[in-house]
Structure 1
Amino acid sequence: MKSLLSFFARAKKMAAQGKKVLGFTLTSPEFEPPAQLKKYAASAYKYSFPYLPAGGDFQLRQRIADFYSRSWGKKFNQDNVFVGAGGKEVIFVLLSTLLEQGKQGQEVIIVSPYWATYPKVVDILGGKKVFIRTSDKNNFALDVDKIEKAITKKTKTVIINTPGNPSGQIIPEDKIRKLAFLAKKKDVIILFDEVYEAYDYEGLFVSALKHFNKNVFCVFSASKSFSLCGWRVGWGIGDKELVKKMINIQSEITTSPNAISQLALKELFSKPKQIQEYLVSINKKAKMRRNLAVRLFKKNKVDFVYIQGGIAIFVKIPDSFKNAFSFAEKLLEEQKVSVAPGEFFGWKNYFRMNLASSPKNIREGIKRIANYYK
């Protein structure tokens, strides 16, 4: 199967040829980043030439720890925090730490639908993927009992995503609590990918950090929270000994993430009130786009999964198509609309559409998509 980025590149190539393509393939927020970051980045320039420590700038790590300590009522310090080149590197380094090199049969449990990167990373690291399939009949609700039954002595980690990409579902707190308890009970690391923490439209999101123990590891991202995809900074919070092992691995890969990005974010995290105000503002903008998409898809009698959080909507393909790849390719060629085929997420009869775009583009995109449902 092609990668999601290769599908995105095809749409970009068409746009470069002068074709007016509406791009909804990648979940890249098109909101303005926090305004003060321009000033912080300019101030950081002259201090950004040397290497920063592996694992991230010490002050940045402490300020991240302080921010999440206040948010979720637990006490973290810099030793709990790992900073990577985006949430993707945090996940890669964590899995590199947990999967022993050259050892066969090490299992990683992945809930489907899933972010396309999870199985790819497991394959790269030689792990064995164990998929837990949910059902679109109940909006892909998570069954904790299924996860518990799937855990074996070979299980190295379980990957949980909330708010979900691509499903847009938020796992309720009672299940988050059960998962955290399960991680401790089974002595297995559960990776909670929470990069869409800022996008909660129903007031349902509770981070697993609220129920933190040494087997809980949470991942966050400046790409999604601050609309800084190109800055490549993400962070994870977990057990100190686990973070120490991750730092040892990162030091031999990237050394540390982009210095200017880290130093600018260090200043931003010194002002938690500014962060909260920004997060409220982008959640409001994103919710408006969610409501717009829901209204238009309903109007055109298109089936979709109601989105509780995140910035993408999972939409059922027309009955006349056998799979999402064939639909997405036809949509791109005929209507100049680029979406992500559901095969990348484990569901061939759905496609994912990014909603962190302009309302104008969303309206026009859904108008073109709806042509296939008439």
Structure 2
Amino acid sequence: MKEFIQEKYKNIKDSIYSSDYSNIYPDFINFALGDPDLRTHEMIIKEAYDSQMKGYTHYADPQGYLGLREEIAKAYLEDYGVKCDPKEILITMSGTEALYIILEAIINPGDEVIVPSPYFSVYPDQIEMTGGVPVIYETKFENDFDLEPREIEKLITAKTKALIINTPNNPTGAVYSDKTLKEIYEMAKKYKLLVICDDIYTIYSYESKFKPMISYDEEFKNVISITSMSKDFVMTGWRLGAILANEELIKTMTYIHENIVYSVPTICQYAGALGIANRKTICPPLYKEYKERMYLAYERLKKLKHVEVLKPQGTFYIFPKISVPGMTTKEVLKEILEKAHVNLIDGEAFGPAGKGFIRIAVTVNKDKINEAFDRIERLDIFKK
């Protein structure tokens, strides 16, 4: 059947998230999957049920349930001082679909999109799927994986259309400073670029309060913000995201979205609206739990030989540098899996700047985190 497959999809790679070894190792611990282990808050689940029983089981407005868009607008005003009309919001099937329809709306064949590496693995794929060209900018461990606007500026050409920013960052956990984000925004204005902000981990900023770049752009001329309930509300399975953008762009993206899924499930949107309205009750315990896990993993990593690790800044991912003499990162991960029964992701899956690193998702409880590191510490390659 390969002859029917479009050329650009004939050599796709296997998903880096698909491996499950629990059938091989009964005591398997998975640090690979960025899916929070905690359950969605009961009041959100109850609202989904109640909305169904009230008859909200039909199609929604393709742009999204107005009540949800109003709650998002209200939250952005209260939390960040961003004035946003519900007309400037599109509800999507997750942040991933949001990114795809943004790129589909703005990319002409050959347009370039600058992507800092390490990056969320879908970024370059989606750019290529929509006819664009990813231009990779490599951040550095020695610089806390922060962005250097002057270095990014050197990559801008006549074909550059956009830049993707993800802070707090998956996979590095880096949180970009207000100064850095302002410089990027000014650069976007100077060169008439769009900055696509993948604002998915907004509550998980441990050293400073998250501030979206869109707060600098009152008319939404150079910044598009993607938001999602997947991580901030532990609702990964609900597939609920949103785009904040200029109304003209929203109209185009709604057209694309309407022709892919028509509308996001109505019950998810009603539940999401209630969740956002109650975010000050729902989110703080999640922040506290994952911050504690991050610092626990950080302290355990510091004790390992051949490991360098940065202090956690955000998300629930740690991105340590591994340098075992005579072994590649893949060989180290294979030994950890086979001898300690702990699964991790090779940092190179997140772009060239991830070579020599691994990503750890602290999406298991603290007892399992300690158990995993107890096993890893016993491996000869990590003994001091």
Amino acid at match of 2:84: F
Name the SS for the 2:164 alignment partner. Answer: strand
Q: 1:327: Cα distance to partner?
A: 2.7
Superposed, 1:166-315 pairs within 5 Å as 166-212=171-217, 213-269=220-276, 271=277, 274-301=278-305, 302-315=307-320
Match of 1:131 among 136, 158, 161: 136
Q: How does 1:53-72 map to 2 (within 5 A)?
A: 53-72=61-80
Q: 2:4: which partner in 1?
A: none
For residues 92 and 233 of structure 2, the distance between their equivalents in structure 1, rounded to whole angstroms, comes to: 15
Instruction: Choose 126-135 or 224-233, whichever is displaced more.
Output: 126-135
Q: Which residue of 1 aligns with 2:375?
A: 368
Q: Following TM superposition, by how much is the alpha carbon of 1:334 offset from its aligned partner in structure 2, in angstroms?
A: 2.9
> Alpha-carbon deviation of 1:313?
0.3
Counterpart CA distance in 2 for 1:131 and 1:18 is 38
Q: In structure 2, give the amino acid aligned to 1:363.
A: N
Question: CA separation in 2, counterparts of 1:127 and 1:333?
Answer: 40
322 and 205 in structure 1: CA distance in 2 versus 1, 3 angstrom threshold = farther
Q: 1:53 and 1:202, CA in 2 relative to 1: closer, same or farther beyond 3 A? A: same
Q: Write the distance in 1 (CA, Å) between the matches of 2:319 and 2:88.
A: 34
Per-residue deviation, 1:3? 5.0
1:280 CA displacement: 1.8
In 1, Cα distance between equivalents of 2:326 and 2:170: 23
Q: List per-residue Cα deviations over 1:95-116 (Å, max 9, x = no partner).
A: 111112xx2x211100011111
- SS for the counterpart of 2:375 is helix
Point out where structure 2 has 5 or more consecutive residues left out of the alignment.
Answer: 1-10
- 2:118 is aligned with 1:109: no
Following the alignment from structure 1 to structure 2, what is the Cα–Cα distance between the partners of residues 322 and 214?
48
Could you tell me how far 1:4 is from its partner in structure 2? 6.9
8 Å Cα contact 1:339/1:353 also seen in 2 = yes
Q: 52, 55, 69: which is aligned to 2:60?
A: 52
CA distance in structure 2 between the aligned counterparts of 1:3 and 1:232, rounded to whole angstroms: 23
State whether residues 321 and 358 of structure 2, in contact with CA within 8 Å, keep that contact through their aligned partners in structure 1.
yes
2:44 aligned partner, one-letter code: L
**Contiguous gaps of at least 5 residues in structure 1:** none
Match of 1:351 in 2: 358
Q: What is the alpha-carbon root mean square deviation over aligned residues?
A: 1.9
Q: TM-score scaled to structure 2, two decimals?
A: 0.90
Give the 3-state SS of the residue equivalent to 2:349 in structure 1. helix
CA distance in 1, matches of 2:192, 2:214: 17
* 1:35 counterpart = 2:42: yes
Report percent identity of matched pairs: 30
TM-score by length of 1: 0.92
Task: Please give the secondary structure, in 1, of the residue aligned with 2:115.
Answer: strand
Paired residues, number: 365
Match for 2:43: what amino acid? Q
Q: Which amino acid aligns with 1:155?
A: T
The 5 A counterparts of 1:1-12 are 3=13, 5=15, 7-10=16-19, 12=20
> For the residues of structure 1 that align with 2:284 and 2:130, how far apart are their CA atoms?
38
The alpha-carbon deviation at position 245 of structure 1 amounts to 0.8
Alpha-carbon shift at residue 191 of structure 1 (Å): 0.7
CA distance in 1, matches of 2:168, 2:14: 20
Greater mean deviation of Cα atoms: 202-211 or 84-93: 202-211
Q: Measure the CA separation in 2 of the matches of 1:135 and 1:308.
A: 15
Q: Which residue of 316, 322, 326 maps to 2:321?
A: 316
Would you say the 8 A contact 1:41–1:263 is kept in 2? Answer: yes
1:168–1:306 contact (8 Å) kept in structure 2: no
Task: Indicate conservation of the 8 Å contact 2:168/2:201, yes or no.
Answer: yes
CA contact (8 A) 2:203 2:210 kept: no
1:93 maps to 101
Letter in 2 for 1:295: E
